Structure 1
Amino acid sequence: MSVFRNRRFTWMTALAMLAVLPLPGRADAADLLSVVSDALDHDPALAASRDASRAAAQAIPKARAALLPHASGGWGRAYNGIVTEDFPTQHYWQSGWTVGLTQPVFNWSSWTAYRQADYIVARARLQTASAIQAAILSVSQAYFDTLAADDEVARATDYLRAVDVHLALIRRAKAAGEATLVDIQDGEASHAQAQLQLLDAQSQVRLARAALERLAGKTGDALAPLPPGTVPTLQPADGDAWVTQAQTRGYPVQIGEVELQVAKFDTEKARAARYPNVDLQVTHTPAGAGGGYARPTTTTTGMLSVTIPILSGGEISAKVDEARAMEDKARDELDAAVRDAGAGARDAWLRVTAGQRRVAALEQVAQRTQAALDATRIGFGAGSRTSLDVLRATDSLYASRRDLIRARYDSVLALLKLLSQTAMLDVDEVARINAQLFVSGTAQPASAVTRSDSTRQDVPDLNMPAVAQTGPIREKAVVPDIPRTIPTRALNAMDMAPAVSTSTSNYVPIVR
């Protein structure tokens, strides 16, 4: 256990050191981890989800209270006037107090509600964890959109400068009688196109930064640029492993599993309305509070009451049918969540793998179009190429650079979406990706990170027995603290213990 603790300490120390390391290019630039942390602190929707989770946590003490004794007491003062034929009229005041105790002995509906309360709390925790993950994904999208917009502005500026240089050259050639008016018009058309691209890029960067500022709650911070050549890869590369992970541990699937259990308990509570209820009632009224007695009288009453439902006019049957229908609805929604999770994970996996190949291909295209432009310029100087050939080669080069910019960021975002599909996207994972993309620059496959739930944010304390991991992907999904067997797909397969692991990590975002 001491080894585990030391490893956890090493990881926490490493994260703290990474947070203060200077980033390449901008010493004071905000990286992905800092922006995500600011957004999680700033997001009001996430704060509302946390508040809802705290409110849902009261379901357990509320349900437990229905099984515990209930005591009540009271005090009163009453005036009595007793008129009896042939007897003197009596007038007197009476005061005192009374105390009563009720202990439920058998109430199946209350007992079922108590068993259901664990799942209600688990559902709220899962919803909060899902909201955290959604917030991380949203701010990451805005962060990389802003970086892409900044890169697009730089690209459009370079494109306009290149066209300006060539247009100036053509104008000098026209003045010397070596170029035609058509060459000038072609150059001016390309110049107008380059200006339009720059205007669009400047507008897009303002929109992207406004979206990021809305999520992170800060304005004017410089962002750490994504170093060239950083393309994340997946381990394992098999898409079926990621699909299986998403179908068993994705937050929509987990929430659907818990929703189904809640619906089953609702059906059981509806049936419990047909069962008898047994209560033990004790009432004690000390001397001076005996109602209806002229003299102070102490009364103590103990009673075991049994209430048996006989006729409800069909209400109980209607409620049972309604609960069964809602249970079927929850089951169908769970099936839909499993299908959607598998499809979403497959789509994200395909985008990640295709993104790697696309980035590599676009890098080759950019290099070759640069070489083609250089050759065309030499040919233009030698008279074997026209001005239009140079403009076309310039446009081809900067178009390939534009595609490469978008492909690099799309590849990283596809990775984050895949992690969110498998319930693995949390602050720790963002720290790992942040370190590998922005700090190391040439990261190699890393070993597993030894962690406990104390290193995670907004994750409930879990105490269920651990289940051996059978899948090829490191599992990180949030699971409820439920001390009873859950006869459903995903929750039966969950690793519900907060214990650390010494196995090697099967997912590592490698930076090429």
Structure 2
Amino acid sequence: MNKRMVLVALAIVAGVQCVRAADLLTVVEQTTDHDAELAATRAGARAAHQAIPKARAQLLPRVEGGWGRAYNRIATEDFPTTTYWQNGWTVSLTQPVFDWSRWTTYRQADFIEARGATEVAQAQQASILKAARAYFDELAAEDELARANDYAAALDTHLTQLRRRQLAGEATVIDLREAESGVLQAHLQQQDAGNALQLSRLALEQATGQPFTSLSRLADPVTMPRVEPDDIDAWANQAQAHDYQVQLKQIDWRIAKLEVEKARAAHLPTVNLTASHTPAGAGSGYARPTTTTTAMLSVSIPFFEGGETEARVDETVALEDKAQDDLTSAIRQAGASARENWMRLRSGAARVDALARLARTSSAAFAATQIGYKVGSRDSTDVLRAADTFYANRRDLIRARYETIMALLQLKAATAALTFDEVASVNTLLVSAANGAPRQPLRAPQVAPARAEFPASSH
């Protein structure tokens, strides 16, 4: 009996977990864990981390050892032939004393490692944006399907009333055909909304690697977020300084500058210290056991290489100019992106507020028109027009709400400030669907004026 009760309890817990609504933060975390591109970038960063030990190894002593056994036969005219075996080992050491090209490579390694870390941060931010887009696309698709269902139901009800009036001689064939056309259009919107919802769910499942029974939704009413400082130039300047693409181009430019230095280092001499020790019995060319020990400080001075060094210097200088131009382009693009998203956020918050008021007004107008139609002061065309206006306002409000949230996230991304903490701040705008129960359709949302403030990034 106890075992059966435990199994029942586990089944209940599992059922609750299955229907529990997932919020934005959960979806983002699962997407970043599932994202193969992000995983590949992290692997690349681990490889880039080895640039420093590889470059440092070129500056440290290199010690090599070996062992061999050789057979020697010496035949000299008028002398007896001599044969003997040689066994032994040798050890050698090479220490670069001065090689500016190797030192420059060692300085480059820091930037190569930094580039790998920056690419990971950029890929993680892109994964967060992808998850948020998939999340809000599905919420928007669910809202749009609910709107299309309400629209179709309203027109079906009106068509039923119209047919009764036609039988009573109170409606014309033109009114009936016009209403039937509206119903067909509403049902087509239902079909399109259902298809869009299926595609949105597939996109979300592909991003996270698993399906969700329900998602936490925007609170109703919801306060659209704003950011501080409320200055478009401040955000543009922050993006121009911290955008990940700008950071990558800055690193590329510094690497290109060091490439020029490496190319010019080919004109400089190189100094190396070499030493070797070969114990007795391994002396090459000696019939008797011989021990040899050598040490040498060598200097190599380039005089003429057929113009290769000059060509390489010119090539690296041109690539440095290209890197500088790429950096300038990235800075301009980052500033423009920040300005665009800042304006989308500001205008989106105002648009949501205006559309919410318009939805309430058009809802009241639609209800009044329906009453007027029943008492004979409004005709069928007025009802259809009022329905189109109200449900079109609802559609626009649905889009505006989610696009405003995405504008906030994209603005944070433009300044390299989109982190899990920022996602958690947006997550406070969501409310969990109780036990996965079907949500109530959005009829006339009461959206408060935008007053919420999210702290600006510390960058």
The alignment's TM-score, normalised by the length of structure 1, stands at: 0.81
Query: Does residue 86 of structure 2 align to residue 118 of structure 1?
Result: no
1:69 to 61, 66, 89: 61
1:273 alignment partner, SS class: helix
Partner of 2:372: 379
1:76 alignment partner, SS class: strand
* Sequence identity (%): 54
CA shift, 1:432, in A, is: 2.0
Partner of 1:329: 322
CA shift, 1:172, in A, is: 1.1
Q: Which amino acid aligns with 2:307?
A: G
The one-character-per-residue Cα deviations of 1:170-216 (angstroms, maximum 9, x if unpaired) are 11111122111122111111111110110110011111111111111
Partner of 1:258: 251
Partner of 2:139: 147
Partner of 2:277: 284
Structure 2: distance between partners of 1:301 and 1:445:
78
1:292 alignment partner, SS class: coil
Q: Which amino acid aligns with 1:173?
A: R
Query: Does residue 294 of structure 2 align to residue 294 of structure 1?
Result: no
1:221 alignment partner, SS class: coil
Partner of 1:164: 156
The one-character-per-residue Cα deviations of 1:427-450 (angstroms, maximum 9, x if unpaired) are 2211221134447x99986797xx
Query: Does residue 427 of structure 2 align to residue 434 of structure 1?
Result: yes
Aligned residue runs from structure 1 range 313-462, under 5 A: 313-438=306-431
The answer (yes or no) to whether the contact 2:217–2:430 under 8 Å persists in 1 is no
Structure 1: distance between partners of 2:192 and 2:37:
32
Q: Which amino acid aligns with 2:179?
A: G
Compare 265-274 and 226-235 and name the one that shifted more: 226-235
1:302 alignment partner, SS class: strand
Structure 1: distance between partners of 2:351 and 2:334:
25
The answer (yes or no) to whether the contact 2:19–2:213 under 8 Å persists in 1 is no
Q: Which amino acid aligns with 1:426?
A: T
CA shift, 1:242, in A, is: 0.6
The answer (yes or no) to whether the contact 2:69–2:85 under 8 Å persists in 1 is yes
1:33 to 25, 36, 44: 25
Gaps of 5+ in 2: 1-17, 433-446
CA shift, 1:85, in A, is: 3.6
The answer (yes or no) to whether the contact 2:239–2:416 under 8 Å persists in 1 is yes
Query: Does residue 174 of structure 2 align to residue 182 of structure 1?
Result: yes
The answer (yes or no) to whether the contact 2:21–2:212 under 8 Å persists in 1 is no
Aligned residue runs from structure 1 range 103-252, under 5 A: 103-230=95-222, 231-252=224-245
Structure 1: distance between partners of 2:452 and 2:297:
69
Larger helix proportion, structure 1 or 2?
Answer: 2
1:279 alignment partner, SS class: strand
The one-character-per-residue Cα deviations of 1:255-310 (angstroms, maximum 9, x if unpaired) are 11111000001110011111111000010001110001111111110000111111
- How many pairs are equivalent? 426
Q: Which amino acid aligns with 2:213?
A: D
2:257 alignment partner, SS class: helix
CA shift, 1:92, in A, is: 0.4
Structure 2: distance between partners of 1:304 and 1:270:
24
The answer (yes or no) to whether the contact 2:219–2:431 under 8 Å persists in 1 is yes
Partner of 2:440: none
Partner of 2:11: none
Structure 2: distance between partners of 1:429 and 1:126:
19
Structure 2: distance between partners of 1:220 and 1:437:
16
Larger Rg: 2
Structure 1: distance between partners of 2:238 and 2:78:
91
